[in-house]
């Protein structure tokens, strides 16, 4: 055997041994599972507007009045018609005036046995007096409460309709608190307000009830509304505040959900946070047109259908729908 032939045979043998002893090639990577997506329904502001008109048709929804009773019956029938399991949590609370108020918190449950739950809330009652009205003759009249009550209720009713037509894999509790606005405006008496949410927070509608967080709506229908990052919300549920405002910005609604901090207010979310220990934020209009920080119509006879703007209703409703539908797939 000559030298050159021997070299070639040696090289061939080395290649053969290497091929036999090398590790097998790793399997190709498994394809990634497609990212979860969810189709968020469109919020119909025309439908919400009609629901405000219907509430106003009963008159001021002041506790212990026929208008209050009639509106409650209508609200329950609406939620039941939209497929919710409804609890009427009745209570009696003494107002700052000494009057015993007969109230009802209306709780509309979707998938009541689902462990993951979110609360969306508003108050459905009207203030018993128009004490901020410039007309002395109006001061003892109940407030029509188109924005300060009915707007938030209408948004939640419209969300209920969407939850029926486009269900999600998550529990939702739509809570309408009663007797929120029967408070003492003359004295520093925070506990005279929000009597329904105080009752609910210390008497939860189900034993062992809990929710991941809550979002309260109050005065969410007026033209040019400005929803700021309110102090109580930032203190108890800062992550929820940032998520909602960031989502609103990404959706093109930053002209409504403004990146501005504001002082804390006494509203239903305060007692849910402090008593029920459930983090809850407040989406509430903080106006720059008055020293009170509320619209010129606040606690007056001017809080009627004329102050409502469908564009504001759509901004709030669409952000809320996007929030809960994305939360249901862990994307919020």
Per-residue pLDDT at 289:
81
Beta strand pairing call for 257-262 and 280-284: unpaired
Inside any domain, residue 33: no
Instruction: List, for residues 189-212, the tens digit of each pLDDT value.
Output: 999 999 999 999 999 999 999 999
Radius of gyration, alpha carbons of the chain: 28
120: nearest Cα among 169, 69, 158, 68? 158
Instruction: List, for residues 19-75, the tens digit of each pLDDT value.
Output: 445 556 667 666 665 667 889 999 999 999 999 999 999 999 999 999 999 999 999
Name, in order, each residue with C-beta under 8 angstroms of 292's C-beta and a sequence gap of 6 or more.
132, 298
Instruction: List, for residues 98-110, the tens digit of each pLDDT value.
Output: 999 999 999 999 9
Structurally, the chain folds into a number of domains equal to: 1
Per-residue pLDDT at 36:
79
Inside any domain, residue 318: yes
The pTM score is 0.90
Inside any domain, residue 85: yes
Inside any domain, residue 27: no
Inside any domain, residue 299: yes
CATH code of the domain in which 261 resides:
3.40.630.10
User: 170 vs 134, 214, 303, 324, CA distance in Å?
Assistant: 47, 14, 35, 9
Inside any domain, residue 13: no
The maximal CA–CA distance of the chain, rounded, in angstroms, is: 125
High-pLDDT (> 90) share of the chain, %: 86
Domain of 303, in residue numbers: 39-327
| Distance (Å, whole) CA 270 – CA 194 | 9
High-pLDDT (> 70) share of the chain, %: 90
Q: How far is CA 289 from the centre of its chain?
A: 25
Inside any domain, residue 14: no
> DSSP string of 36-98?
P--PPPPP-HHHHHHHHHHHHHT----TTSHHHHHHHHHHHHHHHHTT-EEEEEEEEEE-TTS
Inside any domain, residue 87: yes
Per-residue pLDDT at 25:
63
| Distance (Å, whole) CA 200 – CA 261 | 28
Per-residue pLDDT at 100:
98
Sign of CA dihedral 259, 265, 266, 271: positive
Per-residue pLDDT at 124:
98
| Distance (Å, whole) CA 54 – CA 57 | 5
Name, in order, each residue with C-beta under 8 angstroms of 199's C-beta and a sequence gap of 6 or more.
89, 91, 93, 103, 105
| Distance (Å, whole) CA 115 – CA 6 | 76
């Amino acid at each position: 055997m000559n030298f050159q032939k021997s070299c070639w045979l040696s090289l061939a043998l080395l290649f053969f041994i290497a091929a036999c002893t090398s590790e097998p090639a790793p399997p190709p990577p498994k394809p990634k599972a497609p990212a979860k997506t969810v189709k968020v329904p469109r919020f119909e502001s025309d439908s919400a507007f009609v629901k405000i008109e219907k509430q106003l048709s009963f008159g001021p929804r002041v506790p212990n009045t026929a208008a209050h009773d009639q509106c409650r019956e209508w609200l329950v029938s609406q939620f039941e018609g939209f497929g919710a399991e409804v609890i009427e949590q009745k209570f009696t609370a003494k107002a700052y005036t000494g009057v015993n108020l007969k109230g009802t918190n209306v709780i509309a449950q979707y998938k009541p046995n689902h462990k993951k739950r979110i609360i969306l809330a508003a108050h459905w009652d009207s203030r018993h007096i128009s004490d901020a009205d410039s007309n002395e003759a109006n001061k003892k009249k109940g407030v029509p409460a188109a924005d300060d009550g009915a707007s938030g209720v209408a948004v939640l009713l419209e969300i209920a309709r969407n939850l029926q037509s486009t269900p999600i894999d998550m529990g939702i509790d739509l809570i309408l608190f009663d007797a929120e606005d029967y408070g003492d405006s003359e004295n520093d008496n925070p506990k005279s307000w929000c009597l329904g949410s105080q009752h609910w927070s210390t008497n939860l509608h189900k034993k062992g009830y809990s929710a991941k967080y809550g979002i309260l709506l109050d005065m969410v229908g007026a033209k040019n509304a400005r929803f700021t990052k309110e102090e109580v919300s930032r203190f108890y549920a800062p992550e929820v505040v940032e998520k909602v405002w960031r989502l609103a910005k990404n959706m093109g609604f930053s002209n409504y959900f403004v990146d501005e901090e504001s002082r804390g207010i006494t509203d239903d979310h305060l007692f849910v946070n402090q008593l029920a220990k459930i983090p809850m934020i407040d989406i509430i209009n903080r106006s720059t047109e008055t020293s009170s920080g509320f619209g010129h119509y606040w606690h007056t006879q001017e809080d009627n259908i004329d102050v409502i703007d469908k564009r504001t209703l759509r901004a709030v409703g669409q952000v809320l729908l996007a929030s809960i539908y994305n939360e249901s797939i862990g994307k919020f």
